[in-house]
Structure 1
Amino acid sequence: MTTATLERKNTRTAMFAFLGALAMLGLGYAAVPLYDLFCRVTGFGGTTQRASESDAAIAERLAQSAGGKTISIRFDASTARDMPWSFKPAQVTDTVQIGVRDMATYVARNDSGETVTGTASFNVEPEQAGRYFNKIQCFCFTEQTLKPGQEVHMPVLYYVDPKALNDPNMDGVEQITLSYTFHRTEAASAN
């Protein structure tokens, strides 16, 4: 084997190694948005669905075929350790008709002496219910800023998709828990 042939093989091997490393780096950056998309589509990990008003109207029409079946919704609230807010649901449980829009309200109060901005992460339990729990409007879609001592009532407009009644994984589910945790958003908080 000549030196020129060996150099071409080494160059080609180095190029493949570089392209492989570049592809792995790209997949690393794409992993988070792809996982987020997967969770939103499948409801994996209790990820709720985001619905429009027209989706809710369709679900309400489907609810008529659900025969007025109801399900209990439990509301849960917490804050991260560094979040100086009081945060709780206005009502701990509610019984709702499947397919019909309902509204829950959460109450947040800034207990600190500074303006604080936060964002809420959310989850639904049991996990398999996430794909059927649809939020139409939610305070969790945007950052929330509260001045010192300010208290706000934050609504969540939602419905449970009637398709849940046809899913064998939902058999025996009598209650769905909607949990929120508020986290401080440092970049947007005023000090």
Structure 2
Amino acid sequence: MTRQTVTDPAKKNTNRVVAGVCIAFFAGMISMAYAAVPLYAMFCQATGYGGTTKRATQQYANRVLDRDVAIRFDANTAGVPWQFQPVTRSITIKIGETVQAHYTATNKFDRPVTGRATFNVQPELAGPYFNKVECFCFTDTTLKPGETLDMPVVFYVDPDIVNVPELKDLKTITLSYTMFPVEKNKPVASSAPAASSNKVSDTEANLGG
């Protein structure tokens, strides 16, 4: 005798409901994730969490220490057809000293492109003590075809960093930027190469107080 499998219509409906709930939950989680991005960025800038540099509330530190630290500069692109790089690969500064460094960006595409940079520092523990006074990060920048833009960053390392046991022997801090396309330039991103790192030779720093 051949057994026939009887499908329960109620069971089918239950499966559809469960699947619908799962899809709705997944979509809701994605929406929450997108909404959390700007809030997370604000939190990181305020606290230095995850190697994000802090936004300085004052232009200068309360003191300058007789201790040097090397600052290395890194630049990357993720879907933006730009040549993006630091003018100087590294500089040596005094802890607490306010300095200015420069990045440049050149649009290599045949039409205007808008980009936006994110940033962090390594080691991550140094994030809360790396204070940026002026920065081009999280700002939409539009470049015409072939246009080059100077992008300064002004910062200082908080002298309180020397009180952190894990950083007592710190010699180098790396400031890294990654340039992304904004949403309206998404087609450009899809036709551009994947993330890349631009390497430059050492040059003399153009520093300001």
TM-score bucket (shorter structure): 0.7 to 0.9
Q: How big is the shift at 1:158? A: 0.5
AA matched with 1:137: E
In structure 2, the gaps of 5 or more residues are: 1-24, 189-209
The size of the alignment, in residue pairs, is: 159
Q: Does 1:132 align with 2:129?
A: yes
- Partners of 1:106 and 1:125 lie apart in 2 by 18
Q: Does 1:173 align with 2:170?
A: yes
Q: How big is the shift at 1:35? A: 4.0
Q: Does 1:150 align with 2:151?
A: no
Percent of aligned pairs with the same amino acid:
48
- Higher relative helix content: 1
- Partners of 1:179 and 1:36 lie apart in 2 by 15
1:73 — aligned with what? 71
Match of 2:121, SS state, is strand
- Partners of 1:37 and 1:189 lie apart in 2 by 24
Report the RMSD for the aligned CA atoms in angstroms: 2.5
Contact kept in structure 1, 2:44 and 2:54, CA below 8 Å: no
Q: Does 1:101 align with 2:98?
A: yes
Contact kept in structure 1, 2:99 and 2:156, CA below 8 Å: yes
Q: How big is the shift at 1:37? A: 4.7
- Partners of 1:152 and 1:32 lie apart in 2 by 27
Contact kept in structure 1, 2:123 and 2:173, CA below 8 Å: yes
Q: 1:190/1:116 Cα in 2 relative to 1: closer, same or farther (>3 Å)?
A: farther
In structure 1, the gaps of 5 or more residues are: 1-20
Q: How big is the shift at 1:51? A: 1.0
